[in-house]
Amino acid sequence: MGVGNKRTLTKTRRKTRDVDQVISDLRSHKHLKQYKDTKAPEDLPGLGKNYCVACARWFDTPFTLATHERGKPHKRRLKQLRDESKATSKSEQSNVLESDKPETAQDSTDGGVEMVL
Ligand SMILES: [Zn+2]
């Protein structure tokens, strides 16, 4: 089986961060900072102020960032991250949500007829 499409062999598109890297970014700010420190702010669009963590992308203005967050690629990415983190946390079994206990509200409104004389 040969590779029919030559473009898949010689991909020149800019590589973004992998999903597992982004998950680590979302979990610890230190991890994210380490990555950001590898880039010089003056080389980044908008001096690196408008960053989408999920997509690992920088934007020129807060407006373009906001527009991006409403867009399809971003939402697709969020879904991908959610699925991936679900899969990893299942194997880790670290933070299981046990806090939401259903509160047993005991209504003491007895339907008895009370006659106050
Ligand atoms: Zn995004």
pLDDT, one tens digit per residue, over 77-114 is 999 999 988 887 766 554 444 445 455 555 555 565 66
Could you tell me where the beta strands, DSSP code E, fall in the chain? Answer: 50-52, 57-59
* Ligand 1 midpoint to CA 71 (Å): 8
Q: Domain 16-92: give its CATH code.
A: 3.30.160
Whole-number Cα distances in Å, 8 to 4, 5, 13, 15: 9, 6, 10, 13
User: By the 8 A CB rule, do 22 and 54 touch?
Assistant: yes
Per-residue pLDDT band at 22 (split at 50, 70, 90): very high
The pLDDT of residue 96 is: 44
Q: Do 26 and 78 meet the contact criterion of CB atoms below 8 Å apart?
A: no
Please give all residues whose CB falls under 5 A of ion ligand 1, grouped by chain where several chains appear.
52, 54-55, 74
CA 87–ligand 1 middle distance (angstroms): 21
What are the extents of the domains in the chain? 16-92
Record the pTM.
0.64
